[in-house]
Structure 1
Amino acid sequence: MDKFILFIPILITYIIVLLIYFGQNKPRGGILFGIGLPPEALNDKQLLDLKTLYNQSYTVYFAISLLAVFPLFGLTSFFSLSLIYTLMWLAVFLYTSRLPFIRVHHGAAMLKREKKWFIGEPRTVRIDDKINALQQATTLSAFWFAIPVAVALAFIILSIQQADMLLRMTGLASLGMTSILFVLSSAFTRMKPKYYSENKNVNDAINTIGRRYWSILWLAIAIFESGCAITGYLILSQGSSSTFVFWLIGVLLVSLVPLAGILFVHNKLAMLTYDIAHTDGQSVLTDDDQYWLNGSTYYNPNDQSVMVPKRVGIGTTLNMATRTGKWIQYGTIIVSLAIIIPLGAFAIKSDYMAPVLTIENNGRIAIDYSPNNIDFPLNDVVEITLEDNVPSGFRTSGMATAAYARGSFTLDSLGKTKLYIYKNKPPYIMIKLPYTYIVYNENDPAKTRELYASLLAANKQG
Structure 2
Amino acid sequence: MALTIFFIIILFLALVQTAIPYLVKRTIVFGVTIPEKHIHDKRLTSYKKRYAVITFLISIILLGIFTTYALTVQPTEDQMALIGTFILFAIILISMSLYFYFHGKTIQLKKANKWVENLKQVQMTDLSIRSQDEMLPWYVYLLPIIVTLGLIVYTIPQYDILPDQIPTHWGPNGEADAFTAKSPISAIQLPLVLFVMQLMFLGIHFAQKNSGIKLSATSKAASQKRQLTLRKYTSWFLFLTSLLVTMLFSFLQLTTIHPDIFKDTTMIAMPFVFILVILIGTIIFAVKVGRADKQSNVQFKGEITDKDEDMYWKGGLFYFNKNDPSIFVEKRFSVGWTLNLANPIGYLVLFGPIILILLITFL
| Higher relative contact order structure (alpha carbons within 8 Å, sequence separation ≥ 6) | 2
TM-score band by shorter chain is: 0.3 to 0.5
Where is the helix percentage greater, Structure 1 or Structure 2?
2
Give the strand-richer structure, 1 or 2.
1
**TM-score normalised per structure 2:** 0.40
